[in-house]
Chains A and B, each alone.
Chain A
Amino acid sequence: MAWAKRILRVNLTEGTCKAEPLNMDWAMDYLGQRGLATKYFVEEVDPKVDPLSPENKLIMTTGPLTGTGASTAARYSVVTKGPLTNCIACSNSGGYFGAELKNAGWDMIIFEGKADKPVYLVIDDDEAELHDASEIWGTSVWHTDDWIKEKHQEPQFQIAAIGVPGENGVLFSAVVNNKHRAAGRSGVGTVMGSKNLKAVAVRGTKGITVNDPEAFEKAVNDAKAVIAGNAVTHEALPTYGTQVLTNIINELGALPTRNAQDVQFEKANDISGEAMHEPRRTDGKPNLVRNAGCFGCTIACGRISQIDPTHFSVKDKPQYHHASGGVEYENAWALGADTGVGDLEALTYCNYRCNEHALDPITTGATIAAAMELYKIGALTDEDTGGIKMEFGSAEALVAAVDAICDGTDFGKLLGLGSKRLCEKFGHPDLSMSVKGQEFPAYDPRGIQGMGLTYATSNRGACHLRSYTVASEVLGIPEKTDPLVTDGKAGLVKVFQDLTAFVDSSGLCIFTTFAWSAEDIAPQIDAACEGDWSVENLMKVGERIWNLERKFNLDAGMTAEDDTLPKRILKEAAKTGPAKGLVNGLDKMLPEYYELRGWTPQGVPTEETLSRLGLA
């Protein structure tokens, strides 16, 4: 149990919605969510599929613990082949959508084909039906959310939707649920748009059963006590959110600044978690209104902000004069330090717009940063930008560029390519700070060496959420390692990757692992689900998932040559801070990583490895 044991298959070409039993043999090998949906995906989709063709599929998937009483049991994922990366894509979101889907009695929804006109899906417990979306096509996530609730007179719908950029092929469109929680990366929203699917609205009232209720209650309560007794999850994350990292990473000399030309940002404190608490000079109110939690969360790290109504970005735009999702660390970095903009209100406006129109704020900011460098060297001109002076540090340019993407102007369409294609188009491919087409996030691999290997080997392109070695290298969780050395990082990355893969398959949030070890998580899964869910088996499940994703990417055409980093990170030394004079030592880590993984020197899983994991 814990699984609903039922999936919904929606054929958009045919306009049909059909229930199918969940493949429980696969559930025993892949648990749920990221792992299980990836298994379905690789079984059903040609790895070489064009991500934006009807032949690609898109899966919205919960984990067995999603919607249960476990802390943070809010998570759901969107699995597809990503148009930004041409790799497997799996983006994870909180909020309330995933739990509602599970409570409606569905483990996952598989979307296939392409609707001949815009549609949205409505699920009301067992009933699923496609509806005409022509009235909301061309409108924002926020409008779509309100419109569907009003149309169906159901304020308790939980809704996941795309904005206009997702309809128009912007390659880093997200799927946003609850207006400001995002399955953010790799362009999963772009795939949704390519299928003429605008939104999914769910109402679920059926409840969820678990295998051993008494054992589950005990395991959940024990685990919640660990979160409540941990200073990070009980105090730090609720008070400052992820944004407390800004000053830490800046002090470490690992905050990529101005498209990673620098590693420290002189205005870091102005955009930090601390700054969000400071009263503004203009109205005496802080940017931060309160923290917020997703379904069932006992951490509540989310930021709810309100923009200064006199700020230039919203001065004549009352539609943004309300509290909504504020900047998290990655967003503040991408929109701020990476563009050189130290204006917290401008960043918050851009964050609102990324939520309103379902854009990945990391790629949005990093692409604008790359455009600023192209502009600086004269490769991008005023003619290309529509007259926007794309200068580093200009809040006006940042705001105009984000507006351009949302509004679909000619310059917005250029930015909508993402930094890799943009920089290639303008003759400077090395200025894209991306791996496998996806921009790396807020940790410079020259100052935090393990993150270089993390980015290079991430199965969905550069990403911090595939192996967050920052926890060890910076925060000392579970134990402190030196961020400036490469020794031991291959093993660290592998363990973090496998651990994260099974946590992402459970329905739980990865942020629990600041307090929980695998020993705290396993009893919850084991009590909820039939089968063996020991730590040892869960780590093997994680390893199996990692290798399954890797195999898909190799079959899609990726090679070891794609396991690399931007030239800047490998060749241009950090100019300041503790890492001054250092580049990333990927060449020292990668061969050891391949060996530890049981892969050939060419990065291909050996037959022995595949056989051991049941993937042969």
Chain B
Amino acid sequence: MRERGAHWPPLSILRQGSGPLKITLKLFATLSGYLPAQAHKNVVEMEIGDGATIGAVLDSLGVPRQQVHLTLVDGLFVPLGELDARPLRPGETLAVWPPVAGG
């Protein structure tokens, strides 16, 4: 697990503050260490550049792709193969987990 905030400020694709392309990012379990320091618990609101994909957002935070297992946008599953093709839209919630299970 990486120390929280190690990649903040992120690359230019991400901008902190309010604006038309604000999304909510949630990183859980061992990925929570990649959240920006401003995150509260597992959640942070952030601005992203126009057309930024899920993959671009995760790369900007330094989240290793091999640790990305389950990705939901507004609770809907996004296959791993589509992370670089799926742009995020204003107001969407991106939630990401490493390999997990339960029961």
Contacts and interface: CB of A to CB of B under 8 A. Distances in A.
Interface of A: 230-233, 235-237, 239-245, 247-248, 251-253, 269, 273-275, 278, 329-330, 464-465, 468, 470-471, 474-477, 480, 482-483, 510-511, 514, 577-578
Given A244-B28, A273-B29, A578 B76 contact: yes
Interface string B2-23: 0000000000000000000000
A274 B101 contact: no
B103 A247 contact: no
Contacts of B43: 269
Contact of B29 (A239, A278, A474): A239
Contacts of B101: 232-233, 236-237, 242, 244-245, 471, 475, 477, 511, 514
A231 B103 contact: no
Given A232-B99, A475-B100, A510-B103, A244 B29 contact: yes
A235 B29 CA distance: 11
A231 B102 contact: no
Given A274-B29, A274-B42, A465 B98 contact: no
Nearest to A511: B103
B67 to A, nearest CB: 8
B103 A464 contact: yes
Interface string B76-103: 1101000000000000010101111111
A232 B95 CA distance: 18
Interface in B61-81: 69-70, 72, 74-77, 79
Contact of A247 (B42, B69, B74): B42
B44 to A, nearest CB: 13
Contacts of B77: 480, 482-483
Contact of A244 (B72, B79, B95, B100): B100
A236 B28 CA distance: 11
Nearest to B80: A476
Contacts of B26: 247, 251
Interface of B: 26, 28-30, 32, 41-43, 69-70, 72, 74-77, 79, 93, 95, 97-103
A196 to B, nearest CB: 34
Given A274-B41, A482-B77, A248 B70 contact: yes
Contacts of A232: 99-101
Interface centre among B70, B72, B101 (most CB of A within 10 A): B101
Given A244-B97, A475-B100, 8 more contacts: A243-B102, A245-B101, A248-B102, A251-B75, A251-B95, A329-B102, A510-B103, A577-B75
Contacts of A476: 70
A231 B70 contact: no
A293 to B, nearest CB: 16
Nearest to B99: A231
10 contacts: A236-B101, A240-B100, A244-B101, A245-B103, A247-B26, A248-B28, A274-B28, A468-B103, A476-B70, A578-B75
A231 B98 contact: yes
A239 B30 contact: yes
Contacts of A235: 30, 98-99
Given A232-B100, A465-B103, A269 B42 contact: yes
Contacts of A474: 70
B15 to A, nearest CB: 25
Nearest to B28: A247
A240 B72 CA distance: 19
List of 4 A-B pairs having minimum Cβ-Cβ separation, nearest first: A245-B102, A231-B99, A242-B102, A578-B75
Contact of B103 (A239, A242, A253): A242
Given A243-B102, A245-B102, A253 B29 contact: no
Contacts of A252: 72, 75
A107 B32 CA distance: 46
A475 B28 CA distance: 14
A301 B42 CA distance: 22
A472 to B, nearest CB: 12
A510 B93 CA distance: 33
Contacts of A241: 102
A248 B97 contact: yes
A261 B74 CA distance: 20
A511 B103 CA distance: 8
Contact of B79 (A230, A274, A480): A480
Contacts of A240: 29, 100
Contacts of A330: 103
Nearest to B77: A480
A478 to B, nearest CB: 12
B69 to A, nearest CB: 7
Nearest to A577: B75
